[in-house]
């Protein structure tokens, strides 16, 4: 049950006219933990360039970026969740270039610097499902106060997967039930499931619709989003296929909802990822790719103290099981035991055991392994520019953006052939190929792939040809944003 709102400002009018309102937990540059932020940060820009009026609403996390901005108050309201009342307010960014950005302030729940991880314990927040429910309910409360609504709601990942259900089956939001919903899965490994004993945290709903919330005797926001949305998308066609035979127990559901599902490959923000203007780089691209690569590699070699003559194979990302990070320590040891003709560099944070093992192998081979534990956006840019190869041994990769960033900066991808990696990297041995693909995220297949890379590196003409080829590929959002635009149109 929700109380009436007590203040509505004219900014709300803009939202009423919107074509699409994106609802997300992450958004670049405001709050980023992974690729979700990059996509929600870029897609609206491209849609707006194509005459789609798009905006984004995210929680007001207390990240450095969000706290440093100027925000204009737009709306204030309250929601009652269980027996507790939560006051919230929405404000819009004072000066944002291409589209409106709204932050929803929920004191006590989102006034935390880290998006998912409790910095005290090192684990995920224990009140995550409560936070997500309150955020989603507050967004609907805001929309409910309008006389006219955005033409489409676009929800991203399980954090916002209950919205399509709520607008259809929660009595107080049924006014919104004509708004078409698109639900995009960026990472199907996380379901956000919680126990039925917490069902009272949801706004009161039609008990006959209970089955839509349920999967395996739990309330499962990811499954619920899949069932209730008008259109389901994942971030690559390859991943859409995989979900139908391998999705942690949801296979039958993805098969069942096949007709409303489509895989749309992500693009990259070529404004942010532009080798010719990137201010985070030591040397930007001017005319020659070879000069660009060499200068940036030299800067890295000086910073990390490695031999510039060896090929530099980099891993950037979360040190997580699905990213294949757990094979890295063993891979490095076995490879370097045999030959020391490669430098490996890792930038990432995540699984504590993997972090420890990586630091240990670095001590064993200080000449050939460099490890930087942490998240560092600037260094990531420098690594894409200065590396020869980017290694992505992902076990699961819904789309993967890093391989596209790498190619945009002339770095050759070495990838396990799954999901979006399969859709974006063609092996060299195939016609028009430009990357190195392997068939399983195991130490031995990754080792063979690195060996292939080291071989190619010896042939400087071939390296130059490949660098030029990947550099010239177009991974911008243009084509994919058009696909989303078409989806929104067909739902009207």
Binding site for ligand GLC (CB under 6 A): 34-36, 39, 186-187, 235, 266, 397-401, 420
- Distance of alpha carbon 271 from alpha carbon 50, whole angstroms: 16
The nearer residue to ligand GLC, 242 or 341, going by C-beta atoms, is 242
Structure tokens at 159: 């954090």
The nearer residue to ligand GLC, 400 or 410, going by C-beta atoms, is 400
CB of 224 to ligand GLC, least distance (A): 20
Q: 117: buried, middle or exposed (CB in 10 Å: 19+, 13-18, 0-12)? A: middle
The nearer residue to ligand GLC, 316 or 399, going by C-beta atoms, is 399
CB of 302 to ligand GLC, least distance (A): 32
Q: CA geometry: angle at 393 spanning 392 and 399, to 5°?
A: 60
CB of 408 to ligand GLC, least distance (A): 15
CB of 9 to ligand GLC, least distance (A): 33
The nearer residue to ligand GLC, 186 or 422, going by C-beta atoms, is 186
The nearer residue to ligand GLC, 230 or 321, going by C-beta atoms, is 321
CB of 268 to ligand GLC, least distance (A): 10
The nearer residue to ligand GLC, 235 or 470, going by C-beta atoms, is 235
Cβ-closest position to ligand GLC: 35
CB of 29 to ligand GLC, least distance (A): 15
| SS3 state of residue 56 | strand
In order, the DSSP letters of 469-488 are: HHHH---BSHHHHHHHHHHH
CB of 68 to ligand GLC, least distance (A): 25
The nearer residue to ligand GLC, 176 or 401, going by C-beta atoms, is 401
């Amino acid at each position: 049950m929700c109380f009436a709102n007590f203040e509505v400002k004219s900014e709300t009018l803009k939202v009423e006219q919107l074509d699409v309102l994106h609802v997300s937990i992450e958004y670049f540059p405001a709050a980023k933990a992974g690729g979700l932020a990059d996509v929600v940060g870029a897609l609206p820009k491209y849609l707006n360039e194509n005459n789609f009026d798009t905006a984004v609403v995210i929680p007001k996390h207390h990240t450095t970026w969000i706290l440093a901005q100027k925000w204009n108050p737009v709306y204030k309201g309250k929601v009652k969740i269980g027996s507790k009342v939560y006051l919230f307010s929405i404000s819009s960014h004072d000066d944002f270039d291409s589209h409106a950005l709204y932050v929803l302030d929920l004191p006590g729940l989102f006034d935390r610097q880290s998006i998912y991880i409790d910095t005290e314990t090192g684990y995920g927040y224990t009140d995550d499902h409560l936070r997500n429910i309150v955020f989603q309910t507050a967004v609907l409360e805001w929309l409910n106060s309008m006389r006219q609504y955005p033409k489409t709601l676009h929800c991203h990942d399980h954090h916002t997967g209950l919205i399509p259900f709520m607008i259809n089956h929660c009595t107080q939001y049924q006014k919104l039930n004509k708004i078409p919903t698109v639900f995009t899965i960026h990472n199907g490994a996380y379901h956000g499931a919680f126990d039925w004993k917490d069902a009272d945290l949801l706004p009161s709903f039609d008990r006959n619709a209970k089955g839509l919330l349920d999967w395996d005797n739990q309330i499962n926001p990811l499954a619920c989003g899949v069932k209730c949305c008008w259109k389901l998308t994942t971030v690559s066609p390859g991943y859409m296929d995989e979900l139908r035979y391998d999705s942690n127990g949801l296979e039958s559901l993805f098969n069942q909802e096949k007709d409303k599902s489509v895989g749309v490959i992500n693009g990259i923000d070529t404004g942010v990822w532009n080798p010719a203007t990137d201010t985070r780089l030591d040397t930007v691209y001017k005319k020659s790719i070879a000069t660009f690569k060499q200068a940036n590699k030299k800067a890295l070699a000086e910073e990390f103290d490695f031999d510039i003559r060896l090929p530099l194979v980099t891993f950037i990302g979360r040190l997580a099981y699905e990213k294949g990070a757990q094979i890295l320590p063993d891979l490095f040891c076995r490879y370097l035991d045999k030959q020391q003709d490669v430098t490996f560099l890792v930038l990432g944070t995540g699984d504590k055991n993997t972090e420890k093992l990586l630091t240990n192998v670095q001590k064993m081979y200080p000449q050939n392994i460099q490890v930087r534990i942490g998240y560092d956006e600037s260094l990531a840019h420098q690594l894409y520019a200065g590396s020869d190869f980017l290694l992505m041994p992902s076990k699961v990769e819904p789309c993967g953006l890093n391989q596209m960033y790498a190619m945009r900066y002339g770095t050759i991808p070495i990838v396990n052939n799954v999901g979006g990696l399969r859709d974006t990297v063609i092996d060299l041995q195939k016609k028009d190929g430009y990357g190195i693909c392997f068939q399983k995220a195991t130490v031995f297949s990754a080792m063979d792939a690195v060996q292939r890379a080291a071989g190619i590196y010896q042939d400087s003409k071939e390296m130059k040809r490949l660098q030029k080829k990947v550099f010239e590929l177009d991974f911008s959002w243009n084509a994919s944003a058009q696909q989303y635009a078409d989806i929104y149109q067909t739902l009207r």
